[in-house]
Chain A
Amino acid sequence: MTSYALFLGCTIPARQPHYELAARKALTKLGIELVDLEGATCCAPPPIQSIDLETSLAIAAYNICLAEEADLNILTLCTGCFESLTIANRLLKENRELREKINKILSNAGKEFKGTKEVKHYLQVLMDDVGVNHLKQNVVKPLNNLNVAAFSGCHLLRPSELLRFDDPERPRIFDTLIEVLGAKSIPYKNKLRCCGGLLRGYADDIALAIARDKIVNAYNAGADCISTLCPFCFLTLDLGQMLIKTTYKEEYNLPIIHYAELLSLSIGVEPKELALDFHKIKVDKVLEKIG
């Protein structure tokens, strides 16, 4: 059994337990052991990077140190965490000067970044550790050609120079993993473009307009749902549809479902075992379609 340090971040445990629940169930079922890290903090995502890049690197490095001490690689669910931790991990591994600078800061808290561990998004764990074939064998309830609009979120792919997750212009991994579950990953306009989530709270009007584009494009392409990997994308698109209703007087009712939830459902987790009531846009249509 492969073990990982589960890095939950801030938003998932505090706002989206349905994501955590689905991910824990699915990954455990697929033979991945998840170890909760003691004392982990925020990953220092873009808002903190905006305040101070150096601090952000130090915070991310601190959390990586926790995994190094536990001798475990990190598994993240949130793409934001994936990005912050991967960037820090790669930059510090590859740039000695920067590493020394950050280690000087960390030494105050009794830590030293050694650069011995990897940060992985759980999709990578599915690809590398579980494997597409093994995953396929575990699918007991194929998703019945469900039309899924895959939306990985920006920070799974970009900046590709550091994240090195997939081809940033022609990603395949997420789509492959959707199709293994028996669903269809459908093409739609501007698939790789941002949802605007990070502008929420600062420029809500712009954020909503960008989110609306995303919804409209997926909707027009005939999607049964949009599948997400990131809690911010989820919130932006799920709650966003409520706001679109009031602001634009438009109703799409397009379910937003975390990939972990689709995964759980397909490998035999019952809907009632998941926290689907956390979705603002009800997912019943999807459940119906997959039977």
Chain B
Amino acid sequence: MTEEKPLDFTREITSRLGGETITHCYQCGTCASTCPVARTTERYNPRQLIRLALLGQRDEVLKGDTIWLCASCYNCQERCPQKVEVADVIYALRNMAIREGNVPAIYMEFATGLMSEGRLAPISKFLEKKRTEYGLPPLKPANVEALKIILAATGFDKIMFKKEGASP
């Protein structure tokens, strides 16, 4: 486990979109207590995740599978008495993890879908037929070209594919 100077890692997080509020945390445990995932599995606890991050445990936070266990339900964020945007902080951590090659397979799939079809769930021939049967209008195609331009401008394509096949 590499231990970074806690402050450096914290600064890195607070300077990211979504990560700004992490330092407000005073470890009250409200988030853990309200988290449906923490209530279901010992593998996950948002309070502890924040604690690790604030202590500069960079590897443990960014390399592990914990950050991917948040269900993004925002229960914690709603109730945190310090207005830590917990769910958003976790997005920020995920954004950082992705850049370091921690990309779960399912996210790779989502990204591929987005880049090729402009949608996460491409439509099948069967469904197209069904839609006609039900009298639904044909699905308008997504403007994949425009999307690709945007993805190139944000560097999304590179974020995702710089480490080919990288997954935990």
Physical contact A–B (CB less than 8 Å):
yes
A residues whose Cβ falls under 8 Å from a Cβ of B: 8, 10-11, 13-15, 17, 20-21, 24, 36-42, 45-55, 58-59, 62, 105-106, 108-111, 154-155, 158-160, 168-169, 192-194, 196-199, 201-203, 206-207, 209-210, 213, 275
Question: Is B106 among interface residues, defined by CB-CB distance under 8 A?
Answer: yes
Question: Is B119 among interface residues, defined by CB-CB distance under 8 A?
Answer: yes
Question: Is B84 among interface residues, defined by CB-CB distance under 8 A?
Answer: no
Count chain A CB atoms within 10 A of each CB in B44, B141, B142, B152 and give the residue with the most: B142
B150 pairs with A194, CB closer than 8 A: no
A52 pairs with B98, CB closer than 8 A: yes
Count chain A CB atoms within 10 A of each CB in B36, B75, B147 and give the residue with the most: B36
B147 pairs with A194, CB closer than 8 A: no
How far is B78's CA from A168's CA once the two chains are assembled, in angstroms?
Answer: 8
9 A-B pairs within 8 Å (CB atoms) are namely: A14-B124, A14-B139, A41-B143, A42-B113, A42-B114, A42-B120, A51-B156, A105-B150, A207-B71
Task: Tell me whether chain A's interface is mostly helix, strand or loop, or mixed.
Answer: helix
B151 pairs with A55, CB closer than 8 A: yes
B150 pairs with A36, CB closer than 8 A: no
B residues whose Cβ falls under 8 Å from a Cβ of A: 16-18, 36-37, 40-41, 43-44, 68-69, 71-75, 77-78, 85, 87-88, 91-92, 94-95, 98, 104, 106-107, 109-111, 113-114, 118-124, 127, 130-131, 134-137, 139-144, 146-147, 149-154, 156, 159-160
How far is B150's CA from A275's CA once the two chains are assembled, in angstroms?
Answer: 36
**Which listed residue, B77, B127, B136, B147, touches A15 by the CB 8 Å rule?**
B127
Please report the number of residue pairs spanning A and B whose Cβ atoms sit closer than 8 angstroms: 194
How far is B37's CA from A141's CA once the two chains are assembled, in angstroms?
Answer: 40
A55 pairs with B150, CB closer than 8 A: yes
A50 pairs with B150, CB closer than 8 A: no
B127 pairs with A14, CB closer than 8 A: yes
B91 pairs with A24, CB closer than 8 A: no
Given contacts A51-B98, A51-B156, A58-B153, 12 further A-B contacts (CB under 8 A): A14-B123, A17-B130, A39-B140, A42-B119, A48-B114, A53-B95, A55-B151, A59-B150, A106-B150, A108-B152, A196-B40, A210-B40
A46 pairs with B72, CB closer than 8 A: yes
For A163, give the chain B residue with the smallest CB separation: B74
- Complex interface: chain B residues within 8 A of A46 (CB): 72, 91
Shortest A109–chain B CB gap in Å is 4
B156 pairs with A213, CB closer than 8 A: no
Shortest B86–chain A CB gap in Å is 10
Q: A41-B142, A48-B114, A154-B74 are in contact. Are A53 and B120 (CB under 8 A)?
A: no
For B122, give the chain A residue with the smallest CB separation: A14
- Complex interface: chain B residues within 8 A of A210 (CB): 36-37, 40, 71
How far is B68's CA from A31's CA once the two chains are assembled, in angstroms?
Answer: 43
- Complex interface: chain A residues within 8 A of B40 (CB): 196, 206, 209-210, 213
- Complex interface: chain A residues within 8 A of B91 (CB): 46, 49-50, 53
B136 pairs with A17, CB closer than 8 A: yes
- Complex interface: chain A residues within 8 A of B123 (CB): 13-14
A158 pairs with B78, CB closer than 8 A: yes
Q: A17-B131, A55-B156 are in contact. Are A194 and B140 (CB under 8 A)?
A: no
- Complex interface: chain A residues within 8 A of B134 (CB): 17, 21, 275
How far is B139's CA from A24's CA once the two chains are assembled, in angstroms?
Answer: 14
B73 pairs with A51, CB closer than 8 A: no
**Which listed residue, A40, A110, A198, touches B71 by the CB 8 Å rule?**
A198
How far is B144's CA from A6's CA once the two chains are assembled, in angstroms?
Answer: 19
Shortest A36–chain B CB gap in Å is 6
